[in-house]
Amino acid sequence: MASLMEELLLTMDGETEQYEKLINLNRQKKDSIIYKKLDVLEDITVQEQAIADTLLELERKREGLLCHMAEVLGYKGEQVTVSWMIDNLSNQPVEQKQLITAKGRLVQAADNMQVLNIQTQNLLRQALELVEFDITLLKSSRQAPQTSNYGKDAVTTGDILGNRGFDAKQ
């Protein structure tokens, strides 16, 4: 059981480290969005995907370790979580405290990552709104005013004008 506990704690520490890496990448991502460095943003996205894959592996490993620990404790088939394990380790205070600490660090890192993701999502939404505004502005600068372009049926056509430069022969 002691080796399973050590492995569980190492796995949870590994998850915390991966979340901290994501947090650092998220800060770089914000800068690349703000300063429109798309090549940097692409590199960050690739790195984030690799970290997400590692996190998924660590999560599966943690779940497997928790199931093994529950079997050792005689709780085969129970829905096992870290909180459940903390509750069932009341007779082992040292391991229980280590698990509480590891869980706290992991939850804190995940919460921080969630906050940063929301901030990045808002930043991306604003960037997309700005791009949409720019596109609308460009389109409208090439359109004729509604009052000056009439068709045969006396309704405005909204046709797009040609080049708006000064046309003079020299």
Each residue of 72-82: pLDDT tens digit?
A: 888 876 788 89
Enumerate residues 6+ apart whose C-beta is below 8 A from 146.
156, 158
Whole domain around residue 66: which residue ranges? 2-141
Total number of domains in the chain: 1
CATH of the domain at 117: 1.20.58
Q: Give the number of C-alpha atoms closer than 13 A to the C-alpha of residue 3, restricted to the C-beta side.
A: 0
Q: Are 44 and 29 in contact (CB under 8 A)?
A: yes
Q: Among 52-61, 105-114, 135-144, whose mean pLDDT is lowest? A: 135-144
For 163, phi and psi rounded to 5 degrees? -60, 135
Average pLDDT value for the chain = 85
* pLDDT range class, residue 157, cuts 50, 70, 90: low
Cα R_g (the chain), whole angstroms: 29
pLDDT at 125: 93
Do the domain assignments include residue 164? no
Percent of the chain past pLDDT 70, that is, above it, reads 83
Do the domain assignments include residue 105? yes
